[in-house]
Every structure is written in C-alpha cells, then in structure tokens.
Amino acid sequence: MKRYRPHILVVIALAVVLSTGWHGAVRNALTDLRFAWQSRSATGNVVVVAIDAPSIDQIGVWPWPRSLHADLLRRLEAAGAQDIALDIDFSTPSDTASDEAFLKALRDVGGSTILPSFKQPTPNGGAAHVNRPLKPFGSQSWPAVVNVAVESDGLVRRYPIGEKLGEAQMPSMAVVLAGQNIDRRPPFLIDFSIRAGSIPVVSYIDVLRGDATALGKLRDKKVIVGATALELGDRFSVPNGRILAGPVLQALAAESVLQNRMLRWTSDAGMIAGLAVICLLMMYSWRRVAPGARVAILLAAGAGIELTAILVQQRWPVVIDTSLFHIAIIAYLAAIALDEIDFRSLLGRIAESRFHRIAMSLGDGLVCTDEHHRITVWNPGASAVFGYMPTEIIGHPFDTLCAIPTQAGAKAFAIRDAARQALLVPGGAVVVEFEGRRKNGESFPVEASFSGWQGTDGFQYGAILRDISVRKREAERVRYLAEYDALTGLANRNTLHAGLVGLIPAAERRSSEVALLVLGLDGFQQINDMLGHAAGDLVLRAVAERLRIEVDGKALLARLSGDEFAIALDCAVVGEPVAAFAERIARAFDAPLVTEARQHRVRISMGVAVYPDGGRSADDLLSNGHLALTKAKLTRRGGHVMFESAIRQELESRLTLESELALAADRGEFELFYQPQVRLIDGSLVGAEALIRWRHPVRGYVSPGEFMPVVNTSALSERIASWVMETAGRQARAWELSGHQVRVAINLSPSQLHSGDLAHSVAELLRTTGLTPSLLEIEVTEDILLHDEVRVLDIFKRIQQLGVRILFDDFGTGYASLSYLKKFPLDGLKIDRSFVLDLLADSDDAAIVGSTIGLSKQLGLTVVAEGIENRATADFLVSMGCEEGQGYFFGRPMPSEAFEKKFLAAELEAVTAA
C-alpha cells in the first residue's frame, strides 16, 4: 500500500478536480494564455461601420431615424460594399416616413443586407422573447442571429453556428457574413489571437458625409454596422481582460470563419491516454530514479506537452486540452515532496520549538519536572511569581515551591498526589490550589494545572502556575459587596432577607416573635440638596454608627436604599417590648449627629412589622414594614407605627384616590368656590378666598378635607396648585374688567415653593392676565416656612416687589409664629377659626385674639378673622379693632356665578341707585 500511495494521491487529486469542475477553469486559462502568446492579423475583408461617440454628437438625436440608416445603405452600396450586416434592432416600428425610406433603401441595394434577430429574456422568468425585423424589412433582407453565450466566469469564448428560433434554424450573423452554409455543428471557439485592433473601423458619420477615405475602405468588403459607443452599452468581456463592442465581436467571429480558425477542443480520449502514459512512467521510475530526476522528467513532460499544444493551435484550428496533464504533473510533484520529507522528525522539531517559544512567552508560570519531580523547565512567568531565576531552581524538587503548613495537623501539598490525579482524569489535566512559597519566604495562594505525558526520558509532568492572591481578594470583595452596603458597612437588602429567613423558623420553634423595623430619615433630601451628596453620605454613616451603638449586636442592621434602614431582631433576644425598643431608637436621635465640623438634627420615622401578625414570611415583613413606614411619614413623623391590616387598606384607598384625582385633573372636575371677605365695620365686600372643590361624577362634591391631604403629599400637588392660582387670577381679572375691585386670596401649596420659581410664576400670571397686583393675595402656613428659610425669604421679597400681598394663615396654631412675623415680609395675618369660634365664651381665646390684633397694628399688618358665624362675634371683633373677617355669617364658599349674583350684582345696583 505504501508503494502505491503517491499514485493514489494523484488519482484522488484528479477525481476532486473533475468532480468540482476546476479543470474547466484551468483549461480556459491555458487557452487564454496561448491566445496572448500568439498574434495574427485580420484579413481586412470585414469592416466595422461604428456608431461611435462622434457620430452621436454630430447627428445630435438618439435613437436615430431610420431614414439615416437608409442613407447609409445607399452610401455603402455606392461605395461597392459586398455584404452589409446591420447589428441594430429593427423589431419595432418607428415613424412611417422613416420606415418607408428604410424599406425603399433595402429594395434598392438588392437584398444584400443582413438584419439581426435575437432572443431576449422576459422579466418574469418565462420563455425568452424572440425579436425579429419587421415583416416588410425581413422580406427584403437576410435573417441572422446575433446572440452570444456568456460563460460562468462572465467571458464570451464560443460562437454559435446558428440557433433555433421558433421552428426554423437560423444562422449566426458572422456565419452568414462569411458566406458559410448553416449546419448543426456545435459552437466554435473564437480565435482571440486575431488582434481586434487590426479589424478596420469606419465612423458612421464619415460614411454619411461621403468621406472619400472612409468610402475607399469599404469597396469589395463585408460590412458590419453597429454600436461601439460606451454610452450605448453593447459590450462583452473576452479573454485576457479585454472588452469588445458587439459589432467588433461579430467581426472577430467572422474573421475566425474566413481564416478557417473555428477552434475546437480535442476529445477526452487523447487526454486519458496521455494521463495513463504519465502514471505508468511514474510508477516505473518511482523507486528506480532519484527524486530530482523524476522532477526533471515531470517538468520536461509538462513543458513538452504545452509547447506541442501551442504549435498545434497555431497551425490548425485545434485546441489541445492539457489541463488534466498539468494537474497530474503538479500532483506528482507534491507527492515527491511529501515522500522526501521526514514528517515525524520535522513535526517533532516544530513542536519542540513551538513549545519553547510558547513556554517562554507565557505570562503564567510554567514548570516541567522529570519522573522524580525535579524541575527541568522554568519560564520567566515562574520567575515573576516565585522570585527564583532558572539557574537557582532547575534541578531542585518541586516541593521547594510549596509552603510548610502552619496549622497543626495540616497536610503539606504533594505533587505526587496531583500527578496521580492527572493520570486518572480524562484529558490528563487536573487543577488544584495550594499554598506556595516565594524565594523571600512569603506564602501566597497558587492555582496549578497539572498534566503528565510519556517522554523520551521517562514520564514527565508539567504545571501552569498562577498567583491567585489578587483574585482571592477580589472575590472576597465581590462577596462583601453582594452582602453589605459599601457606604455604611451594614448588611444590604439581600443579607437582611436571608437573615429574616433564618430568624423566622427559629422564632416559630420557640413560639416567639420576630420584628422588622423599617426606618426612614425625615428631611434627608434637604440635606442632600443644600449641602451636597458628600455631606449626605457623612450623615448616613453617622446614622449607621448610632444604630450600631443602640442595637449593640443584638439585632441585624441593614441599609435598604438611600435613606432607609432596617433592624431585624428576635424579640426573645432583645429582652424588651418591640414598642419600647422602637421608642428607644427614636429617642437616640434626639441628640444631633456630628459629622466633621457640622451638627445635624435628624428625625427617624419607623414602620414596624412583627411576625406572625405582621407577616409570615421575609417578603411579607419587608412589604408590611414599608407600608407602616409610609403611614408613619404621613401621620407620625419622628415616631413609629405598628403594622395593621387597616394600614394596607388605608394606603390602597389612598392609591385609589390618587388615581381618581389624576383622572379628575385630566377631565376638569375641579372647581373654585369663593368665600367672601368683608370689612367688619360696615359689612362691605373687600375680597374673596379661592377654595378648591371636587365635583365627582358619581359622589357629587367631595369634601376638601378628604382629598386635599392626599393632593398636598402626591405628585399632583404642583399641577393642581398651579391650576388654582391661574384660575383664581383669571377670575379676579374678569371681575376687575367688569368694574369690581375684588381682592382674591389663594392658599399656597408647599410644592409651589419646592419646585420651580414661584415669584416668576406669579409675575407671569400678572403679565398674561393683566391683573392689578394688589388684587392678588397669597396665604402661607407655618409648615411652608419651615424648610429652606433663606430661599423662601428671597421668594417672598420678590413677590412683594411685584405688589402682591402675602398673609400668614392659621396664625396662632404653630410654635414659632411670632418669630415668623419678625423674620418674613408679610402684609397681614389671619386669626385661625379655632380661636374665633368660642371667642364670646372663652376668655383665653379672647385674650389671644386681642393680643394678636394689638401686635398686628403695631407691626402695621392687616388682620383677618376666620370662622365668624354670628353678628355678636363680628361686633366683638370690631370692638377689639379687627378690620376684616370671613365666615358663614357673611357667606359660605360658593361658585363664581353665585358669588357674582349675591355680592357683585348688589354692589352694582347700589352704585346705580346712588
């Protein structure tokens, strides 16, 4: 078998080439090269009359009228041309006069004209459409086919003798022009060794003008008329990178016929016989002749065969197909090369060299040992890891690199164990970790991948070693970040959840309780906004530290999000009731937090959920604890709220109400009612307070006490407050335009101060409505003044500069009202209705109201009393010096239409009567 291996290789190569068709490409390439090496001239008997660029430019229109072709035929006939072939489409009619002129010219030249027919593919992929000359033209001319076949490589090589169009066999144009009879022979190879440049070419326009030189070239010649201009696109790619115009290709085919150069390839029988001779020659000489001599024989055979093919093709119209000869010769040359190379030793040397290059370039440490585990290979990566140079470590046992265990009873790493495992593992490699020892004695974790193999000097081992101390630290860091909060060092939500999952079963076994406290910082956003996030981070760390002190390791502390913390505890371990524990945590924040050089007073609101009533799983406790915290922030800031099922229902009702309020805002269900404000001494109207009302499509009017607390603490607050201010301002302007100076008071929402520029909004309202500023009054409450006093003070000053009045509402109900009278620019204050209702019966209320009125007069402030429900109260306030008031005694809040009818119409009648 080994003896015949080279010949089998050649046979396989030939079979592959034949099955894939590659020999056709080789055959075409060899034929094209022979055309390039040979060169012969055209006979000159075929002349091309070119429709070229100069002809198109001078005639000036396209397509040309057939009357021009008629003139051309007459010129050619007069010049003595023998046969005339028009490579032009005459299958469709043009204008009648031109067609008649062309038909007459065909008759005049006496039937020596050849007109083309051709197949044209249809766009939908159906049967090809045959274009023939118009019947009148066809009866006066010779028919001919001009189609040529484009091969798979995009080149035209062969030319058909004729083609069947319909039921008749029609000859090709070059065959008719050359005067050959049609037969059923297959297409022939055009002889491209005939130089296309030697074919005479005459310009169409020169013939039409009667140029003597051009006409002289046409006498007794066969003429092909067709397009050569680039813009007409009738061009074909031919061998050796040339591109020919259609008429020139037809002329070249005609020249091949005229010169008896209708080339054809030889049959396969001769090629098979030649291949057999080469194979027998190689089989005989393979072991008898030296490789160099065999190479010389093959090269000489190839050169001889090709030279013979060139000489034969030059003398006769025969193309010898030598493609398989050359492929067989190349295959035998490859077989000789493969037979002479010692691949085993070569591959061994290549592998050894490659292993050495890879080993020395590895960033990881690479160590190899012999069968006694002494080090034989040591790369630079190993030096970088352990600190030993190759001369210091090669020859030493591998155990030199292993640290001695420091713990009693610990077993030292042994390479024998790892090597034994490597032999048992599929693939022959095992990855282990051990404590390594550097040259300086430092211990560090090492990851080693051991493998073993049989070498020439016995069994050998190799190990790739990595210092994984950094990776270990990073893994520990990743684990820490996955379980703890990076800012405070407390447990994160995942760790808290896992802790609760562990506490609940233990408490269930002891029939005890597990409590979860969810803590939120009140006003933390203001710290971030005013002092920056760096200061906020310091506050969060201080909060975490204070919680650690209070918990004292008896509970699990966690940070849930930005300003939310949590405490999970086993009530049996803490030793005090949950409520008392929560109160102690809240009292711990009575003292200010110290961060660097600043003190912060932070209040903590807490939601408490207790297992099992507050939730039977960790997820339930977290969810219910958050709900209780939300309730605490709404009702008991600075305190705690224990979760009850009613809280969830209440908050769900709040969410439902928020959704209804959003729809109400979209549908325009809100209205403004106006309550009159009068001068107490005579009862005359001085203004009105704008009060929002909600007209529900099902429930009717909803009390503001039910929905306004939700509005003021929701995202709708700013939108609704802006609508109230704009609507009230436009109503005041409408009354002003009708001649009524009604001062309209609106209640300021906290959201209008916290977002945007309130002073700019008021100025824009005055500008767009044209309202007189003194007719707009803004009422503020103490809770609005509590936050960011500097910013609020600046806004109020700018509002007063516009001419708008500012009143302090609900005076007397806050703890710092007197200081605000001094600090903020106010035009007046409103005495809260809680002091006015029992004014006649309660001497304390009377004293407070009297003092307030006296203080206001000294400060130059207007005083408005709320809640006046009878004449006696109004008279008593007048006696105290109060100037203005409002209450049900003067009028309830009412729609603008009712307000106009009751107060403004009466005022207008009084003015008219006067």
pLDDT bin (cut points 50, 70, 90) of residue 912 is very low
Q: What is d(CA 737, CA 770) in angstroms, rounded to the nearest whole number? A: 10
pLDDT at 618 > cutoff 80: yes
Q: What is the mean pLDDT of residues 107-135?
A: 80
Is residue 47 within 8 Å of 222, Cβ to Cβ? yes
Query: At CA 682, angle to CA 681 and CA 686, rounded to 5?
Result: 95
Please tell me which of 290-299, 608-617, 642-651, 894-903 the model is most confident about, judged by mean pLDDT: 894-903
Q: Which of these ranges, 62-71, 161-170, 703-712, has the smallest mean pLDDT?
A: 703-712
What is the H or E stretch that residue 805 is in? strand 805-811
Q: In the predicted model, what is the mean pLDDT of the chain?
A: 83
**Least confident piece of the model among 91-95, 182-186, 429-433:** 182-186
Q: Which amino acid is at 156?
A: V
Q: Give me the phi and psi of 378, to 5 degrees please.
A: -145, 115
Residue 27: predicted pLDDT: 84
Binning pLDDT at 50, 70 and 90, where does residue 13 land? confident
- Name the band, by pLDDT with cuts 50, 70 and 90, for residue 914: very low
Q: Which distant-in-sequence residues (6+ apart) come within 8 Å of 611 by Cβ?
A: 504, 507, 513, 514, 515, 516, 621
Mean pLDDT of 536-553: 87
Angstrom distance (rounded) from CA 326 to CA 300: 11
Q: What angle do CA 114, 119, 120 make, to 5 degrees?
A: 125
* Cα-only R_g, the chain: 54
Range in 26-40, 349-363, 465-479, 862-876 with the lowest mean pLDDT: 349-363
What is the tens place of the pLDDT at every residue in 727-783? Answer: 999 999 999 999 999 999 998 887 777 766 888 889 999 999 999 999 999 998 876
Average pLDDT (827-849) is: 87
> Which tokens sit at 45?
């008997």
Instruction: Please determine, for residue 456, whether its predicted confidence score (pLDDT) is greater than 80.
Output: no
User: What pLDDT is recorded for position 913?
Assistant: 38
The reported pLDDT for the residue numbered 911 is 37
Over 60: is that where the pLDDT of 113 sits?
yes
Pick from 857, 907, 906, 904: nearest CA to 884: 857
Tokens 């020596």 belong to residue = 112
Nearest to 373 by CA among 315, 414, 320, 322: 414
If pLDDT is split at 50, 70 and 90, which confidence band does 178 have?
confident
- Transcribe 569-600 into DSSP letters: EEHHHH-S-HHHHHHHHHHTTSSPEEETTEEE
748 burial type by CB count under 10 A (0-12 exposed, 13-18 middle, 19+ buried): buried
Position 910 pLDDT exceeds 50:
no
Q: Give the span between the Cα atoms of 113 and 134, in whole angstroms.
A: 14
Residue 159 has pLDDT above 50, yes or no: yes
Of 357, 363, 355, the residue nearest 385 (C-alpha): 363
Mode of pairing for the β-strands spanning 235-238 and 113-120: unpaired
Distance CA 641, CA 857 (A): 44
Q: What is the pLDDT of residue 907?
A: 56
Q: What is the pLDDT of residue 813?
A: 66
Quick one: pLDDT at residue 457? 64
Rounded-to-integer distance, Cα 301 and Cα 325, Å: 9
Of 106-110, 422-426, 671-675, the range with the highest mean pLDDT is 671-675
What pLDDT, in 10s, does the model give residues 218-247?
999 999 999 888 877 778 899 988 899 999
Least confident segment among 25-29, 293-297, 544-548, 598-602 = 598-602
Omega before 160 within 30 of 0, i.e. cis: no
Token look-up 């379980």 returns: 483
Nearest to 256 by CA among 341, 203, 189, 349: 189
- Which residue from 222, 218, 220, 201 is spatially nearest to 210, judged by alpha carbons? 218
Alpha helices in 683-841 (DSSP H): 704-712, 717-737, 750-754, 758-769, 782-785, 789-801, 817-823, 833-836
* Dihedral over Cα of 23, 29, 33, 35: its sign: positive
Handedness of CA 465, 470, 476, 481 (dihedral sign): negative
Q: List all residues 6 or more positions away from 324 whose beta carbon is below 8 Å from its beta carbon.
A: 14, 17, 18, 23, 271, 275
The most confident of 156-165, 330-339, 445-454, by mean pLDDT: 156-165
pLDDT on residue 323: 81
**What distance in Å separates the CA atoms of residue 496 and residue 748, rounded to the nearest whole number?**
42
Cβ count within 10 A of residue 644: 16
Most confident of 198-212, 567-581, 816-830: 198-212
